[in-house]
Every structure is written in structure tokens, then in C-alpha cells.
Amino acid sequence: MALLPIDRQRPTSLERGQRIAVVDLGTNVFGLVVGTLDPDGVPQWFHRADIEVGLAKDGFGNLSPATLQRAERALQKHTNDAIEHGATVLFGYGTSALRQWPNAESWLQDCSLRLSNQEHQGRRIPCELCTISGETEAETIRYGLQACGLLDQGPVLINDIGGGSVECVLCWKDSVFLAVSLPLGMRKLLRDFPVHINPSADPAHPQNPYLRAFEACYASLRAVFESELGAALLAHRPLHIVGTAGPYETLARWAQAYQPESKQITRSLCQAFGQAATQTLPHPHPSLHPLSTDAIVHASALMLALCDTAQGIPFVVTDLSLREGALLTHFHHTTRPD
């Protein structure tokens, strides 16, 4: 298992009831959680917040000064929020976009020092930031879901959709059959399968740019998933896909509004979601447009492609992801014995 690099961070011995903060330094969004374990070891979540940063707006591999300013402002805000909600330490983990930037570690170290010296409401807290590998990201997500009892019933396929990468973990409890981090995040899919809207198109021959992007994206992802996951999915047939946060929460909200009587998110609901995203669903349905980006088209294509690769199994959606898994990892590996 690829656990978080706790041993290379500031030694911190935690006690149950002590609040800590974790920030997922994602490609699109920096997400904060403040939480703890109660005396019985049950997780308690006190505060969550997301700030859009857009590390890959100018592409991957290089972060502009303007991007770094946005990133540090977001971290300053999250640090202040963590202090206001009683956190005693903050940890941050950089994922795909930061992994691909050669200067990430030095910038994160400098930023850690500045944040640790930042005073808010008369308090300062130590802040430790670093990047983690895709393997560690996937394992940390899995660890958090297992700790919260979401992997107990049988094999499941965990899927986390990020801006720069997509994590897939096929597992049952602490048995991991396959864990991969694939460079298929929303920023990359938007770049590779753009939505081309032609205002001068012939109205007598209408074209649907959303549908064209969806179909091309679906076909490409279906081939990748079959190659990367197909054999393992046949050997260890999962009961369902566990979708973590992000676009899956949009899917869950939309599915609940579209078919409130449905008790699970089936393949047909996922397909209808994609049709709504591409404006091809014939029945009245909750709207998904207009959107700040067309990423929901690509996210719905990814979900359906993954579902079809896994033989059409249903979805279960959770709001737990990397940040919650990281917080639980810290407590379970550094908590003082009672």
C-alpha cells in the first residue's frame, strides 16, 4: 500500500478529539476538510470548503505566476478557515497538475513556511504541503472509504474523477485487486475532445456539438478502460461503482430530481444523464445547462464508459474522497495510544 508520506512531514502525534485540516490540492479545485475522530474512533466532519483554482488553465507542466497567486490565495483562505474551525495543524496534498510541475516541491515548501507564519484571530497553525503520486492518491481514497465502512459488502470499483487524472481502485475491504491512476482528468478530456460550436452552421442541417464530443470521448475512454481494467473486472466482478465527490455528486442530484422513486443510480439513469448533458434526452428533465464549462459532457461520457466496461453495474455516490481519506490516515497512523 502506498500510504501518505507522514514520516517525511512534521512529526505530529494526534489525540482523538483533536481537530486537523487537510487540503486536496487538485487540478481544478482546492478542497478543505476539518475533522477529527471522536473517543470511539468515529470520524466527525466539522467543515468543508472548495475554492476553484484552475492549475491547468494554461496546460500541464508549468504554472504561471498568476496561477500560483490564485493557488496561494486559496491556501491562505483555507488556512484561516481551518483556524476558525479549531484545527491545530493543516496538511495539503498536491495531485496531477502539481505532480507534473518540476518546481512543485520547492514552491510547496516555501508556501508551507509562509502559511505557518500567517496569523489569524491571534493564532497560527503548522502547515505542511507536498505532492503525492497517483498510486498514493488512489490508496488514500480507498483507505478513507474502507475506514467509513463503504467497502464491506463485496468487491467494488472506486472511481474518482479529477481535473488531471482519474483514479480507479478495484477492491474489497483492504484487499486491492487493481489500483490505477490514469491521465484522463476533465482538463485533458476537454482539450482532447473539444465542443466546437459553429454559429454559422446551416440551420437546415443542425449538428449537436455536445453529442459529437460525447461520442468521441466515450469511444476513446471505453477502449482505455477495457485495456486497463477489463481483465481485473472479469476476475473480480464488482457489485457497484463507488463514485467519489465531484461530478458524481452532480449525477446523484440530477438522478434524484429526474427519478426520485429510484433507489439506486442504474446504467439507464447514467445514460439519461449523458443525454441531458448533450441535450438529446427526449423527456422533460432537470437542466444541466448552461454551465461554466462543458466538462459535464465529458464526465458523463466517462461514467457511462466505465459502467459499460464493468458490465452495466449500478453506482453508489459518496462525498468522501482524498481529503477525508488523508485525514483518517493521519489519525490512524499517528494517534497516541489510549
Could you report the per-residue pLDDT of 313-331, keeping only the tens digit for each? 999 999 999 999 999 999 9
Q: pTM above 0.85?
A: yes
pLDDT at 3: 63
Residue 289 has pLDDT above 90, yes or no: no
- Helix (H/G/I), strand (E/B), else coil: 235: helix
Same domain, 265 and 170: yes
Band of pLDDT at residue 2, cut at 50, 70 and 90:
low
Does one domain contain both 209 and 298? yes
Q: Is the pLDDT of residue 143 over 50?
A: yes
Q: Are residues 28 and 82 in the same domain?
A: yes
Q: Are residues 279 and 159 in the same domain?
A: yes
pLDDT in tens, 225-260: 999 999 999 999 999 999 998 899 999 999 999 999
Q: Are residues 85 and 218 in the same domain?
A: no
Q: Is residue 329 part of a domain?
A: yes
187-206 burial: b if 16+ Cβ within 10 Å, else e: bbbbeebebeeeeeeeeeee
Same structural domain, 76 and 185: no
Query: What percent helix, strand, coil does the chain show, rounded to 5?
Result: 40, 20, 40
DSSP conformational letter for 100: T
Q: Which of 9-23, 264-278, 292-306 has maximum average pLDDT? A: 264-278
Backbone angles phi, psi at 145, to 5 degrees: -65, -40
Q: What is the 3-state secondary structure (H, E, C) of 14-80?
A: ECCCCCEEEEEECCCEEEEEEEEECCCCCEEEEEEEEEECCCCCCCCCCCCHHHHHHHHHHHHHHHH
Q: 330: how many CB neighbours lie within 10 A of its CB?
A: 20
CATH of the domain at 258: 3.30.420.150
The pLDDT value given to residue 298: 95
Mean pLDDT for all residues in the chain:
91
Q: What percent of the chain has pLDDT over 70?
A: 91
Average pLDDT for 293-308: 90
pLDDT tier at 30 (50, 70, 90 boundaries)? very high
Host domain of residue 29:
6-134+322-334
Q: What is the pLDDT of residues 150-207, one digit of tens each?
A: 999 999 999 999 999 999 999 999 999 999 999 999 999 999 999 887 766 555 555 7
Q: 106 and 218 in one domain? A: no
Asked whether residue 71 is assigned to any structural domain, the reply reads yes
CATH code where residue 96 lies = 3.30.420.40
Q: What are phi and psi of 44, to 5 degrees?
A: -130, 130
- The strand pair at 315-318 and 241-244 is best described as parallel
Residue 337 pLDDT: 47
Reported confidence tier of residue 127, pLDDT bands at 50, 70, 90? very high
Range name among 63-67, 96-100, 200-204 with the lowest pLDDT average: 200-204
Same structural domain for residues 200 and 255? yes
Residues 297 and 187 in one domain: yes
| Identity at 234, one-letter amino acid code | L
Q: What is the C-alpha separation between 152 and 174, in angstroms, rounded? A: 9
**In this structure, what are the phi and psi dihedrals at residue 163, rounded to the nearest 5 degrees?**
-75, -30
Query: In terms of Cα–Cα distance, which of 53, 22, 69 is closest to 320?
Result: 22
So what's the pLDDT on residue 295? 85
In which order are the strands placed within the sheet that holds 156-161?
175-182, 166-172, 156-161, 241-244, 315-318
Q: Is 139 contained in some domain?
A: no
Whether residue 176 is contained in a domain is answered as yes
228 located within any domain: yes
Shared-domain flag, residues 157 and 286: yes
* pLDDT at site 225: 98
Q: Is residue 143 part of a domain?
A: no
Same domain, 21 and 87: yes
Phi-psi region of 17 (alpha: psi -120 to 50; beta: other; left: phi over 0): left
Using the predicted structure, report yes or no on whether residue 11 has a pLDDT greater than 60.
no
Shared domain check, 49 and 69: yes
Residue 140 lies in a domain: no
pLDDT at position 265 over 70? yes
User: What is the domain count for the chain?
Assistant: 2
Domain assignment of residue 36, yes or no: yes
CA distance 35 to 45: 4
What confidence tier does 63 reach under pLDDT thresholds 50, 70, 90?
very high
DSSP H or E stretch at residue 170: strand 166-172
Three-state SS for 184? coil
